[in-house]
Amino acid sequence: MLIVGAGIVITAVAHRRNLQPGLIVVTLAAAASFLPGMPRLELESEVMLALVVPPLLYSATRGASFTAFGQNLRAIINLGVLLVLGTAAALGFLSSWLLPTIGLAAAFVLGSVLAPPDTITTVSHGEELGLPRRVTTILTGESLVNDATALTLFTIAIGAVSGVHASWGSGIRDFFYNAGVGLAIGAGLALITLWVRRILRNPTLETTLALLVPFTAFLLAEQVHASGILAVVMAAFSISINTSLDPRHQYPGAYRTRLQEEAFWPVVDFLLETFVFAYIGLQLRFVLDDLRQSEDPGLSRTLIAAAVLLLAAIVIRIAGVYALFGRWRLNDLLNKRRLARDPEFARRVEEHRTRRTRGRTRRDTPLGAPTTRETLVVSWTGMRGILTLAAAAGIPETTESGAEFPGRSAIQAIALIVTLGTLLIQGTTIRFLVNWLRLDVREEREQSAAMRQHANDLVNAAATGTADDDYDKQRAALSHAVTEGTVDEETARSLINEIDLRQAARHTLT
């Protein structure tokens, strides 16, 4: 109760001063851990991950655009998979060198904990910062994919510490098994949920069902040793797109459930994020005490390792983004030059492009490499956040054999220090970087305004009166426009929310 009450006050003040609430909460909680008589709060690691991560990931996925995800799939995979794998490997090897006594497997646990940046924090302030829509789309997609990649690596690394994996090959096989089965479970659970929702047709029951979905997807997948994270992401993607944009799921009264869920999930996000930031901050004194009492790695070596890994995490992010996007731009440039001088190559490329884009709208077509300025912004959004803290808190105290988990206190201390460091260094300077780059988003916002006007015209043309059928026709018109590619998902969802509000107001007044 005290944590939530303090979180309300801190978040209100932070929003007024354009500060990061999570940074303030974790800093004050860390300071509070040194108060005399402060008890040590401990939760089982499995409980921590199973209670916190699924609903946060489900909520973040609900608002993602499937079309925009597809347009930027190459950038998202580059950042969310390749860069996370590279970062985890680099930080893992570096950790094993800095802290040799914890072992290579535990070092890779630390690498997987530190690998994924919390880009969704930047996205939530994207319009306020003046970020181009493409940057926010890439960062949103990355936040979903990198969480799944990092936590899958985390699970494999934890298993390696316990002796579950005998070789790298078995770990790689487990990775693909985790991903494939996790996605299948998420998709299957989404189909069942959509069917049940049509039967329930009750906002309270449907919202309760929605709350159960992320936990069910996560635990079902974990029971068969698959990726619970990917199961949650797939379920959230499938359910949110169908309930908002598929006319087959626009049953009578569905608007009330959508409105209730739009108000419900931000509350869940706030409660869980405040709890995790406060929980890990309140561990600081006790983690440092544990390190002081241990001879190896010890407090001094751990603090030095934390500083080195903080710098390495920032540098690897910048270098990795520039390497991946730079190679992409270079390939595009070389292809353009070859197209100009080789007519036969140009003909084959055009035939291939025609086959790939047949049946697609302009908005379905994959985009080219991000610009230099977009690359710089993306490279600086490497702040670690809620997932790093939750994963660190979720490290078990003992291995399967009952032995003490090697380097657990050091890993948790380093995770906290790196998170605080990136929030202080990058989180407080991203606004100045965007202002300095003078990113011009006027044309983009004019296009968005024109698209919204076009969508409004479609809505107005579909309405002939005030009956509930008209609201269904308006939503169907928007769904059709999204399918045709004349209106994007973000605009359609925003207008569907307005239609839902008008329908609810009409029933309230009558």
The Cα 246–Cα 296 span in angstroms is 58
Within 10 A of 435 (CB to CB), how many other CB atoms are there?
A: 11
**Phi, psi torsion values for 158, nearest 5 degrees:** -60, -40
The Cα 5–Cα 24 span in angstroms is 14
DSSP 238-271: HHHHHHHH-GGG--TTHHHHHHHHHHHHHHHHHH
In terms of C-beta density within 10 A (0-12 exposed, 13-18 middle, 19 or more buried), how is residue 277 classed? buried
> What pTM did the predictor assign?
0.79
The Cα 32–Cα 368 span in angstroms is 48
| Spatial contact of 383 and 426, defined as CB atoms under 8 Å apart | yes
| Segment (H or E) for 128 | helix 126-129
Tell whether the torsion through CA atoms of 197, 203, 205 and 209 is positive or negative.
positive
pLDDT of residue 166: 47
pLDDT of residue 121: 64
Picking from 369, 314, 327, 353, the residue whose alpha carbon sits closest to that of residue 75 is 369
Task: Name the CATH code of domain 43-323+363-439 (choices 2.60.120, 1.25.40, 1.20.1530, 1.10.20).
Answer: 1.20.1530
The Cα 154–Cα 429 span in angstroms is 30
Q: What is the pLDDT of residues 216-239, one digit of tens each?
A: 999 999 888 888 888 998 999 889
Tokens found for residue 64: 């993602």
The Cα 192–Cα 209 span in angstroms is 11
Q: What is the DSSP letter of 162?
A: T
**What is the CA 420 to chain-centroid distance, rounded?**
19
Ordered per-residue pLDDT tens for the chain, 510 residues: 888 888 899 888 888 877 778 778 888 888 888 988 888 877 776 777 788 888 988 888 887 777 778 888 888 899 988 999 999 999 999 999 999 988 888 999 999 999 988 876 666 666 667 788 888 888 888 887 887 788 878 888 888 887 665 455 565 677 778 788 989 999 999 999 999 988 888 889 999 999 999 999 999 998 888 888 889 989 998 898 888 877 777 777 788 888 898 899 989 988 888 888 888 788 888 888 888 887 778 888 889 999 999 999 999 999 999 998 888 888 877 777 777 777 776 676 666 666 655 555 555 566 777 888 889 999 998 888 878 888 888 888 888 777 888 888 889 889 988 988 888 888 888 888 888 888 777 777 888 888 888 888 888 887 776 676 778 888 888 888 888 878 888 888 888 888 888 888 887 766
| Spatial contact of 423 and 22, defined as CB atoms under 8 Å apart | yes
With tokens 């270079």, the residue in question is 330
The Cα 303–Cα 98 span in angstroms is 11
